[in-house]
Structure 1
Amino acid sequence: MTSPSHPAAAPWRTPLIVVICGCLIALVGFGVRSSFGLWLEPMTLAKGWSRETFALAMAIQNLFWGLGLPFAGALADKFGAPRVLAVGALLYAAGVAGMAVSDSGLAFQMTGGVLTGLGVAFTAFSIALAAMAKVVAPSRRSLALGLGTAAGSAGQVVFSPFGQALIAGIGWHDALFVVAATTLLVIPLAFILPGASQDESDPLADMTIGGALREALSHRGYVLLTAGFFVCGFHIAFITVHFPAYVTGLGLDPAIGAYALALVGLCNIVGAFASGAFGQRWSKRSGLSAIYFVRAIAITALLLLPKTEVTILVFAGVMGLLWLSTVPLTTGIVAQVFGMRYMATLFGIVFLSHQIGSFLGVWLGGYLYDTMGTYDPVWWAGVVLGLMAAVIHLPIDERPIVRAARPAPAA
């Protein structure tokens, strides 16, 4: 891999090293937050909370992840990813540790919701992906984005059984402290990534963040992409938080829920990398449309087929292939259309829509289960939203915006 316009400052900071460290950051950051659903039952039973109390905290977490990411992206674009990721790791660790000592629903919503959500935002794999994308050639950018996304899924493979083993071995309380300490691994990895840099010949060199946002928001494809990512968040957050409890409610072994989440992550390693390879050669918008359509079919099959261990694991495998396969294509469209200068900022806005969907998916799951005793209405809502997303991605214009080149400085 060679850097097109953002050479590494130190000779050892090669594109390969940057990609590896970015992947490890994605693995830890996404892996930790993807395991929180394992704490739903033990914490609600120990505290005497309703599922809605837990779900609301996770919904707030997703919302603040989305609200914080545009700011984190803007700071990363201006000051560089390392400092943003390091601050995020400290917030993340404090939030997860705070979950363990929360003695009320409000305290849990502040620690597990607000603080952890901001920590997730400032350690988001999208910030690591933006740093990775800046050091690889455009011909390999989509593959690098797919690899980084797949690493996030590898974190889910690692942390789902790891979290379950910790809960079973040392209890949910101490397990949260172990997981909190794990998030601090992001700090040394972050300072291996390149800091902020700017290509003087870049036509975006003089554009402000405000100008970049105005340009993007006036682009119909960007608006459609943002709307479609709402559906991705709705699906993923609902399944991540509620699927283990859903499986238990079917009368199946709780371990099946943990295995299912691990299988989602395992299959997504394949799906995310394949998505990046697909986007390197073919239309990214068509790939996104197909992903959302197949998601709707998979959820429909889950609802209509007998609820056996095989059904659960097959569903998890199929959803795993489609899980974060939206991310390389979505980030790829943002980079392809608008360029690299404000990629983290612009994707942060798109991701805010994703997290609004996450908030609704998680909260509605808990609220409707407590009021109706079933998750089925949320599942069917996911089917309808998946079909809608399949349609709205088709008109997206993937062509790069043409701008006048900035004159090179005189010698």
Structure 2
Amino acid sequence: MSTVFRSNAASLKTQTTLVIVAAALILSAAMGVRQTFGLFIGPFSFDRGVPVTLIAFAIALHNLVWGVAQPFAGAAADRYGCTRVVAFGAVAFAAGLALAALTTSPALLVVGMGVLVGIGISCTSFGVVLTAVGRSATAESRSVAMGIASAGGSLGQVLMVPLAQSVRQSSGIATSLLVLAFVLLVAAPLGFLLDRRNAGAVPLSGAATTSLRTVVKEACRHRGYRLLTIGFFTCGFQLAFIATHLPGYLFLCHMPVGAGATALALIGLFNMVGSWACGWLGGRFRQQYVLGWLYLIRGVAIAVFFLLPKTTASVAVFAAVMGLTWLGTVPLTSGLVAKVFGTRHLGTLFGICFLSHQLGSFLGAWLGGFVFDMTGSYSLIWGATAIAGLFAALLHFPIDDTVVDRSAGLPGAARA
């Protein structure tokens, strides 16, 4: 009996490890490629004469499309598995980059960088791949497993930003975007590993007989879920603004040309540590408290960076702090949703929550360009980004993480 138990436990551990590795590599490709977009704003503007506002709008639009598509991508992964969803997303993502690389039409640039990329990334990022990790891992190790997958996914940011910068400088915008499209196609087959199942697999938590509509209604009535969703808006706003406009802002501050790419790469490097650390902390402390402190630290870091003189050292320190708090919100947020509502419909519920994140991303990317075009400065948007961190922290500390007991009604429904 003990031998069989140990064999099943070892098999389950191996399966979970494979899922984590596959998820990390897919995230590396998708998020790493996406993180390069800020490097193309200046070249598109100078080389092709595309207004900064339009480029920022295209990048902002992909965030919005990503958010709108995420609940559907999550629901498809919940129902049909991740393999087909990841494959479809990788092809759509690559097609969007290829269209942006080869077209001279501003409208087609928006379709490629905005619509197709948004659809593609919704199928190849957190709402799909971390859901697979959450289902594969045990409840006790889920937060850490998601943190490890997110941390591994940061490797793409470390590698893709320098790659895109190097290829763009040597061969131009089109070649750089086509190389990134190829990377996504190579990562597509990894989706097969996300759907690995065996007899020892962790069963889906949450009542299997509860319909999706019922679970969504429960979530919408749950005060904690609403606070979590609203707070996630801030994360998207902050990250999209910084990822999109930090290279241009540093150029305006008379920093070296490569400072923006270096800062984004440093953010990715430190995000590897930060995502793992946030997953580890989420397994030992209440996840909403860790989220509250994370948002508070991020807001303070943004304010201090904006107020201090810009030097190589200050940029490096800012990038390091931002990296430590960058995507640690994702395993904590998805883990909190899984804890309260179970994993049966995790892809859908996290997708709905993530829509709020992407609405914030749309505004962060677009408003950065709009405010700059209107005022010639990023000052107003830097201030708003810092204040948003305090707002998000205040929302997360009071979240109730009591597990939903469907046999006795929704906890907290009367307080919602």
TM-score (norm 2): 0.92
Match in the other structure for 2:52: 51
Q: Secondary structure at the match of 2:280?
A: helix
Q: Secondary structure at the match of 2:140?
A: helix
- Show the counterpart of 1:240: 243
| 2:312 alignment partner, one of 309, 312, 322 | 309
Residue identity matched to 1:319 = M
2:211 pairs with 194, 208, 211, which one? 208
- For 1:333 and 1:109, the matched residues in 2 are separated by 35
Distance 1:228 1:11, change over 3 A: closer
Q: 1:203 to 1:286 in 2, by over 3 A?
A: closer
The AA in structure 2 aligned to 1:60 is L
| 1:187 corresponds to | 188
Equivalent residue, structure 2, for 1:409: none
Is the 2:67–2:358 contact (alpha carbons within 8 Å) kept by the matching residues of 1? yes
Q: 1:328 to 1:89 in 2, by over 3 A?
A: same
Where does residue 413 of structure 2 map in the other structure? none
How far the C-alpha of 1:193 sits from its partner, in A, is 1.6
2 CA distance for matches of 1:187 and 1:47?
A: 31
AA partner of residue 125 (structure 2): A
The alpha carbon displacement at 1:289 in A equals 0.7
- Picking from 357, 365, 382, the partner of 1:354 is 357
Q: Tell me: CA distance 1:12–1:228, structure 2 relative to 1, closer, same or farther (3 Å).
A: closer
Instruction: For residue 250 of structure 1, report the CA deviation from its aligned partner.
Output: 0.9
Amino acid at match of 1:281: R
Match of 1:386 in 2: 389
Higher mean alpha-carbon deviation, 160-169 vs 11-20, is at 11-20
The answer as to whether partners of 2:23 and 2:149 remain within 8 angstroms in 1 is yes
* 3-state SS of 2:327 partner: coil
Counterpart amino acid of residue 83 in structure 2: P
Matched, 1:300 2:279: no
3-state DSSP of counterpart to 2:193: coil
Indicate if the aligned counterparts of 2:50 and 2:106 stay in contact, CA closer than 8 A.
yes
Partners of 1:252 and 1:57 lie apart in 2 by 26
What does residue range 250-329 of structure 1 map to in structure 2 within 5 Å?
250-329=253-332
| C-alpha spacing 1:317/1:202, structure 2 compared with 1 (3 Å) | closer
Inter-partner Cα distance in structure 1 for 2:328 and 2:204: 33
Q: Work out whether 1:371 is the aligned partner of 2:360.
A: no
* Superposed displacement of residue 43, structure 1: 1.2
CA contact (8 A) 1:82 1:195 kept: no
- Aligned residue for 1:277, secondary structure, equals helix
- Aligned partners of 2:206 and 2:343 also within 8 Å: no
Question: d(CA) in 1 for partners of 2:53 and 2:398?
Answer: 38
Cα deviations by residue, 1:242-280 (Å, 9 ceiling, x for unpaired): 111111111111211101000001111111100000000
TM-score (norm 1): 0.93
Q: Runs (4+) of structure 1 moved beyond 6 Å?
A: 10-13, 195-201
Instruction: Give matches, 1:4-403, under 5 Å.
Output: 14-194=15-195, 204-403=207-406
Gaps of 5+ in 2: 409-416
Relative distance call for 1:400 and 1:250 in structure 2 (3 A) is same
CA distance in 1 between counterparts of 2:270 and 2:286 reads: 22
CA contact (8 A) 2:135 2:204 kept: no
CA contact 1:150–1:272 (8 Å) conserved in 2: yes
Whichever residue aligns with residue 212 of structure 1, its letter is V
SS at match of 1:150: helix
Change (3 A) 1:22 1:375: same
Of 396-405 and 154-163, more deviation after overlay is shown by: 396-405
Percent sequence identity over aligned pairs? 43
Counterpart in 1 of 2:414? none
Instruction: Answer with 128-137 or 190-199: which moved more.
Output: 190-199
Distance, in Å, in 2 between the alignment partners of 1:282 and 1:307 is 36
Higher mean alpha-carbon deviation, 84-93 vs 125-134, is at 125-134
One-letter identity of the residue aligned with 1:80: G
Alpha-carbon distance, 1:394 to partner = 1.2
Which amino acid in 2 is paired with 1:129? Answer: L
> Which whole-Å CA distance do the structure 2 matches of 1:307 and 1:192 have between them?
45
1: CA distance between counterparts of 2:382 and 2:103? Answer: 31
1:227 Cα offset (Å) = 0.1
Q: Structure 1 stretches of 5 or more lacking a match?
A: 406-411
Q: Is the Cα contact below 8 Å between 2:136 and 2:202 reproduced in 1?
A: no
Q: How many residues align?
A: 399
Change (3 A) 1:161 1:190: same
| Structure 1 pair 201–67 and aligned structure 2 pair: CA distance change class (3 A) | closer
Cα distance in 1 for partners of 2:393, 2:303 equals 15
Give the CA RMSD over aligned residues: 2.1
1:11 and 1:337 map into 2 onto residues whose CA distance is 24
Q: Secondary structure, in 3 states, of the residue corresponding to 2:96?
A: helix
Identify the range of structure 1 (324-333 vs 356-365) with the bigger mean alpha-carbon deviation: 324-333
What is residue 411 of structure 2 aligned with on the other side? none
Q: Deviations over 1:180-229 (max 9, x none)?
A: 11101222100122169998896521122111110100100000000000
Is the 2:271–2:325 Cα contact (8 Å) retained in structure 1? yes
Give the match's secondary structure for 1:137: coil
How many angstroms apart in 2 are the aligned matches of 1:315 and 1:95? 32
